[in-house]
Amino acid sequence: MAEDPLERFGAVPSFSVSSDDVAEGRPLSREQWGAGGGGGDISPQLSWTGFPPETKSFAVTIHDPDAPTGSGFWHWAVYNIPATVTELPTGAGAEGGGGLPQGAAMLSNELGAKSFTGAGPPPGTGTHHYNIVVHALDVERLDLDPASTPAVLGFNVHFHTLARAVLTPVATAGDI
């Protein structure tokens, strides 16, 4: 299982996340790269198990802490996923959120789109780690302004996380 990139905020129990599309420590496929870099901007399939029984909802975030910004780069942020949902299909992060379960909401990524945006590490910036985190929450619903940023989601998630699952694929400029 991946190292928990959020552990510095306080350790919480972990559970498992897996994917048919990405793997721990392995390079992202063309589909998960951004269109500007020759990819498809297609969010990966994700499924999770072993979360606490008291889980009331989930949030999923994908963040690249290695982006040369000082604050990383948010690729995807989804929240209010019902506790009965344990999988997101490939492409669930398409613009408009039609592939998301009913009740789930998506925030804008760093490019300002309410969708998944794929990898695009700039040349010379080394290997980037894409922290895919599934957060098991103790609330059914987070009441966020739809114009909130993924960082605001992270702030709110911090105070409601029961457990988290982490999967971290990688990408380096020139991989595709």
159 token code pair: 């105070």
How is residue 114 annotated by DSSP? S
- Compute the average pLDDT of residues 43-55: 98
Instruction: Please give the mean pLDDT across all residues of the chain.
Output: 95
Q: What is the CATH number of the domain that holds 94?
A: 3.90.280.10
Is 1 part of any domain? no
Contacts of 34 (CB under 8 A, 6+ apart): 41, 117, 118, 119, 120
Is 12 part of any domain? yes
Is 104 part of any domain? yes
Is 139 part of any domain? yes
- Compute the average pLDDT of residues 129-158: 97
Is 2 part of any domain? no
84 token code pair: 């009965």
Answer whether 16's CB lies under 8 Å from 165's CB: yes
Is 99 part of any domain? yes
Dist. CA 155–CA 176, nearest whole Å: 34
Is 54 part of any domain? yes
Number of domains in the chain: 1
Contacts of 99 (CB under 8 A, 6+ apart): 88, 89, 91, 92, 93
Q: Domain limits at 110? A: 7-172
Alpha carbon separation from 139 to 59, 158, 159 (Å, rounded): 11, 12, 10
pLDDT in tens, 104-125: 999 999 999 999 999 999 999 9
Is 148 part of any domain? yes
The torsion of the CA quartet 119, 167, 156, 80, rounded to 10 degrees, works out to: 90
